[in-house]
Amino acid sequence: MMTPKQLEKVIGTTAKQQSKLREEGRFPIPHINMGRNILYSVYAVADVLLTGKTEDKAKQEKETEQIVVSQAVSLLPSKKKITRQNAPQDLSQLILVKSFVSSLTSQRDNIDFLIDHFTKLAKFKGMHDNFQTQLPLKPVGKKNDGKV
């Protein structure tokens, strides 16, 4: 789970702006109300960042998650230590890999453009050389060495 302040660091939208967008119903990331606190699921944040869209099910799931979370909170012992098994999955690596792949794709497109450009250049150079060999040479006149 993430707080609005933590989400602010990830997406760059201030907590106050998030609040305004939530009130207007225009904030794309589903949230959970726990009393006065607002929490975002790490999985929902990652889904929105990776796909850029949310599903209509998010509103329905929000209501059921509130019930499940409140029941789960009452069942959990206090001060439970987070272990590797129940720690939230770190998706920052996945986001970095996705941006790296995007960068490689852009570079591949640039290289493809250069390959096409140099292929055409070589073709035109060959045509130029062929044309030059077919033209008759200009007769070279005698030098007059400045004599009239």
Domain boundaries of the chain, sorted by first residue = 4-78, 90-130
Neighbours of 77 (CB within 10 A): 5
What integer best gives the mean pLDDT of the chain? Answer: 76
Contact at 8 Å (CB) between 11 and 27? no
Tens digit of pLDDT for each residue in 47-100?
A: 888 877 665 444 545 555 555 555 555 555 555 555 555 556 666 777 777 878
Burial class of residue 38 in the structure, from the number of CB atoms within 10 Å of its CB (0-12 exposed, 13-18 middle, 19+ buried): middle
Question: What's the whole-model pTM score?
Answer: 0.37
Contact at 8 Å (CB) between 39 and 2? yes
The amino acid sitting at 128 is: H
Which residues contact residue 68 at a Cβ distance below 8 angstroms, ignoring those fewer than 6 apart?
none
